[in-house]
Amino acid sequence: MSIIAVEKKNNKITFIADTQMTYCDEPMRSEKIFETSNFVFGLATNNKPDLVFKNFLEMSKDLKLNSVTDVYNLIIAFNDYKLNDMHENPESLKFGSDDQLLIADKNTHKVFYINPQSMTCYEIDTFGAIGSGANYTIGAYDAGASLEDSVKIACKRNIYCSEPLSTIKIS
């Protein structure tokens, strides 16, 4: 699946992700973190609604994420966008039960974890990780590894993650 990690430190937000995608047991390269004018997000998914979600965020320039309620409203608006603007069945680009999302608002400097299927959501104060390599990353980070080193450790331990890494920083 993936490893996507985020760190809030010294008024900066850093996203780091591996770039391996596995399709039919074949590893390939794929970006997992994306930047729009107002947001940075990382999506650990098997369904790949990521580019549609990125397009939706680009068109949602007035959107601000200040609270968990704002994030819930974002997911609801995305489902409405798929149905009304794209004329797609929301099920065709549906987030799966294992899908997880980290999203940062560049204006509010808030970062949220979301499981869009179960609508589990919470704000991340300092550090978070998602994907199949998350537990390795969390363990390494908690043991004192830097954000980048903790993701590299996860890549060594999880067959569904690998380098090179991609990074996006928000000041």
Bridge partners of residue 17, in order along the sequence: 4, 166
Classify 169 as helix, strand or coil: strand
Q: What is the pTM of this model?
A: 0.85
What pLDDT does residue 20 have? 76
> For the chain, which ranges sit under pLDDT 70?
1, 22-29, 46-50, 85-95
Tell me the per-residue pLDDT of 23-46, one tens digit each, with 9 for 90 and over.
666 666 677 898 888 899 898 876
Helix axis angle for 147-157 and 134-142, nearest 10°, is 140
Tell me the per-residue pLDDT of 143-163, one tens digit each, with 9 for 90 and over.
999 999 999 999 999 988 889
In sequence order, what are the residues at sequence separation of 6 or more whose Cβ sits closer than 8 angstroms to the Cβ of residue 69? none
Bridge partners of residue 115, in order along the sequence: 120
| CA 71 vs CA 13, 18, 75, 110: distances in Å | 18, 25, 7, 11
Domains in the chain, number = 1
- The domain that holds 93 is classified in CATH as 3.60.20.10
In sequence order, what are the residues at sequence separation of 6 or more whose Cβ sits closer than 8 angstroms to the Cβ of residue 99? 43, 44, 45, 46, 47, 115, 116, 117
Structural domain containing residue 52: 4-170
